[in-house]
Structure 1
Amino acid sequence: PPPPPPTSDAPDTPEVPPTPQYTPTPRPDGAVVHVVASGDTLFGISLTYDVPVDDIYELNNLDSTSLLQIGQEIVIAVSGGAALPTATPQAVATVESTPEVAPTVAEGTQPAAIVPADGKASLCILAFFDANSDMFRQPENNEMLLPNVQLSLLDRSGPVDSHKTDGISEPWCFENLEPGNYVLRHTPPAGYKAIDGGQLSFILSAGQAFNVELAYIRDDNAPAGDNGDLAVTPVAESTEVTNGEETGGMTNVLNTVLRVSGIIVLILAIAVAVLFVLSRRAV
């Protein structure tokens, strides 16, 4: 059953913290840079300035494992590059006091993200086989949940939690997370590969419940013999083969016994005939 809705002692109109506003800083050479502040990540910077994170990697000679330092200048665009929109703060929704209603889950459907406790956040993960490679799950197209995906959640201080999917009880939720920056690393089972490269970055806010669907496709470069089937049960097939071999062996033994028996019977018949002839001559 779904968990009971959280209760809060906060006033009807809680005070909403101000959202920081980032302004790109031009340099004398015409390059536009962002000065790293506390809590910044490359993924968050790319979203703020609407610039692909891969472009930021290339301009700054960085990669997904690079660590940022407060005060570091991150080049957003170089001189002559495409014009960048002025970064604007993300809209903050006004919190209104409304009666709390416990969520209901229809039979046969996946549960929604768990509502985090006051001041905390949650991150719910669902891994699936993306049959048509469009990164959207469509159960009617046989895009089933994928088991044996290893999930590892990290923050600035190191590993936070981990989980391996079973393909049945997902989505799996990392609960009671402190607001801040997180990295999710995910490793698919043999025979599959992740469409997103196996690593995602998130900025979680207090009270936020974040849902993520991880799409995986067949890995054509998997080693020979590794077909990555989701529901391969070779036990029955092996049993049939073994039973067939045992039956064939018993048949061969029986045929051999019958041949030997026939030869023995023939020898006995010849011996009886010879004795009969000798006895007649003696008479």
Structure 2
Amino acid sequence: MQFGRKSGQRSRQFLLRRALLAALWLSVLLIAGLPAFAQDNLLTNPGLEEPFTGRGRGDLNIPSGWNLWVANAPQTEVWMNLTPTGYPHRTEPEYREGSVSLNLSKGFGTFTAAIYQQVSVPEDADVRASAYAWLHTCGDPGEEPTEGCESSGGSGASVRIGIDPDGGTDPNSSSIVWSSPMSPHDTWGQVTVDASASGSAVTVFLYGGQTAPRAFNNMYWDEALLVVGGEGGTAGDGGSAPPPPAEAPAVVAQNAQEDGSVIHTVVAGDTIDSIAVAYGLTRQQIMDLNGISDPRIIQIGQQIIIVPPEEETSGTNFDEEGEVFEGDVPEDATQEPVPTSTPAPAAPVAAAAVDVVDPASDAAAVCVLLFNDSNRNRIQEQGEDLLSGGTLTLNSATVQMGEYATDGVSEPHCFGGLTAGDYMALAAAPSGYGLTTTDQLLVQVRPGASINVVFGAAE
């Protein structure tokens, strides 16, 4: 009996040891079978949650832990490559996790922007990044916008995610591995990319943009991820780099007819503002001449009166001083009236028209000012005075042409002696103020011309 009891105990111990070994082996198999990227998220604030931090103005905010890049050129149309607004979005379905998503938007315009984050990773590690995006773009600029309109691809909007294996911060770098573009209209879509770090740091870019303006132009981001693992890869293995921002063709001015009139026939890509620039008129002058109440609504083939027949051209002569009211339409789609007692001011979002062309001289000038945009509508109106304490700069493609500190009295300040070509005008707001307009503008200068550029800022 004693022998039997000992034998039974040994049998039970043997079975117990086998069960423990089997459980241990099963756990090893389960761990080995887990995806290599089932690890901790390496991003700071991957859920894009609050607090959000300002980026130079009150209506541009992004989640803490992230940085922002915005394309500001080319800007051959007033709606092109504008700086978006950025806010936390708090209502479903346009957020996935936590309490908010990031909403970037620009009504009646386009933007190209990326938020990015540099992250430390194990040396030369394979990494995988992903994020969710939602697009809502609708309402043709020539139509009355309607809340709740169905998002569509007419804006050319798309998103993608990229990893710079070198840890750089330029989204135009050729070393970035990009996902394929995606256009998730009115739904959440996940973009994913794998890359191999070239050192101990990588940069993740959440990138998106559009090619055509829409009344409602919204991009949402949420639930980003960066983990060690995935299949790795280099720039040659991933998607192609994002295309450069779209550039619209310049308007070609048309010659006078036999009766002395000048008539412009609208072609694809024309806007009231681009037509005004081409002929040296203001937006309001063209609207008044043609009975146009909404500057967003013109049709291909429409004939726009530039100079009426048998009429003196003192108000529209190309050698007369004039300014172009040119800018993106406010998001409430309401056209601000232009005071009748003073000439129409230059809009702060784009360059004004060519003033005087001196055939005897090719020297040109860019004249800049900064005003107190107290109502934040980006239009300088009566009572909105010049601002002191700001900085206005003009750069060519290679060098800085000059820098000027505003005094609020003697502006506009002109950077003179310029040759024809492209220049970038930049503005920095005074202490305690934020820019209400774009902070930089591409200016195309013609020989002998003077161009006005107006920036606005508010407390």
What TM-score, normalized by structure 1, do the two folds share? 0.44
Instruction: Kindly indicate which of the two structures has a greater share of residues assigned to helix.
Output: 1
Instruction: Kindly indicate which of the two structures has a greater share of residues assigned to strand.
Output: 2
Report which of the two structures shows the higher radius of gyration computed on alpha carbons. 1
What TM-score, normalized by structure 2, do the two folds share? 0.29
Bigger RCO of structures 1 and 2 (CA < 8 A, at least 6 apart): 1
